[in-house]
Structure 1
Amino acid sequence: MSAKTTYLALLRGINVGGKNKVPMAGLKKLLEEMGLEDVKTYIQSGNVIFRSALAARTIGRKIEEALTSTFKLDDELIKVLVLSRDTLKAVVDKRPKGFGDEPGKYHSDAIFLIGIDRDEAFAVFKPRDGVDNVWPGEGVIYSQRLSAERTKSRLGKIVASPLYKSMTIRSWQTTQKLMQLMDEGE
């Protein structure tokens, strides 16, 4: 029997704006029926921590297929990114200096990339001087916008890009909480 790895699945396109509703209890049950162990969900936006002996890519494909065949969802919006604890730890540890340190002043987000090239994804960001800052990371784009000027932010413009379907956004607070939950599960 191979060793089990703790993973985080980031589900893109569920429970957003009242669309693609997936109840967390139903999601947890579905993943347990798939053979994933110690399944825990965190908030409604599609964050699941679990253990499995399978490879991350294999699990991601299986979850996508199971989601779209079990729940009434717009398949075009659904993508699943599965990260190991070490991968998420690298995202947290390699953040830009000071990123996320002033939550009262800045809205900070980790924009996780799902099967797309970082440089190609980074090119769609057009930060507004004095409002937005973006930094490329490994499998992630770090985005920070001045809270007092967030209505002037250009972050929302990435939605118009076809590459947006290969990104999933988590607030920095959520990203850090997910790291904490993964550490507790180890």
Structure 2
Amino acid sequence: MTTYAALLRGINVGGNKKLPMADLRELMTGLGHDGVRTYLQSGQAVFTSGHGDEESLAAELTRAVERRFGFSVDVIVRAHAYLKAVAEACPFPAAELEAKQLHVTYFSAPVTAERFAEIDRAAHLPEEFRLGDRVLYLYAPEGLGRSKLAETLSRPRATKGVIATSRNWNTVVKLVEMTAPQA
């Protein structure tokens, strides 16, 4: 059995795509997953499964949400080892920053630096971003809501052909904890 986190993109935001977490837990348990737990209302679920891989589990959950709730939602599923590696590889001093200043965008597939080559990094300073393994780390000193760089990074050219969903640093750390093997 492997422990995973499912990251659902764009649910319960601004009154759109309402999906109560109790209903999500019930749905995922009905798919045969064990130990289903959710974190916050913004689309994180942790579960264990002995079947499938990250991509097939994400596709299964996407289909199940659409059948049950009537709307499509993008899902990324990642195992504990990956989530832990992402947190450990953070190129910014996470321990010294407020959680609102640091975000991770998870991608469904690898992305290359060429995808972001047109972005004038100097024009956005002190905001910065760095790429990792299927992730983008964003340092936004004034928070995501005020970030001009985040707005630029979310444009279709940057995300074309991949699912992208962002989480603040508190959520990144919490998902590592929640997916850690239980003693």
Residues 148-183 of structure 1 show CA distances to partners (whole Å, capped at 9, x for unaligned) of: 896363212333315266210000111011111122
CA distance in 2, matches of 1:22, 1:134: 31
- Is 1:159 the equivalent of 2:154? yes
- What's the counterpart of residue 66 of structure 1? 64
CA distance in 2, matches of 1:34, 1:149: 34
Aligned length, in residue pairs: 179
User: What's the offset of the Cα at 1:21?
Assistant: 0.6
| Unpaired stretches in structure 2, ≥5 consecutive residues | none
User: Residue 157 of structure 1 aligns to a residue in which SS?
Assistant: helix
User: What's the offset of the Cα at 1:100?
Assistant: 5.5
CA distance in 1, matches of 2:85, 2:29: 27
User: What's the offset of the Cα at 1:132?
Assistant: 1.1
Q: TM-score, normalised by structure 1?
A: 0.85
- What's the counterpart of residue 113 of structure 1? 107
Read off the aligned partner of 1:17 and give its amino acid letter.
G
User: Residue 51 of structure 1 aligns to a residue in which SS?
Assistant: strand
| Unpaired stretches in structure 1, ≥5 consecutive residues | none
Residues 73-120 of structure 1 show CA distances to partners (whole Å, capped at 9, x for unaligned) of: 2x2xx211111100001100111041452117x611000011352435
User: How well do the aligned residues superpose, as a CA RMSD in angstroms?
Assistant: 2.4
Which runs of structure 2 are paired with 1:26-105 in the superposition (5 Å)?
A: 26-54=23-51, 55-73=53-71, 75=72, 78-99=73-94, 101-103=96-98
- What's the counterpart of residue 132 of structure 2? 137
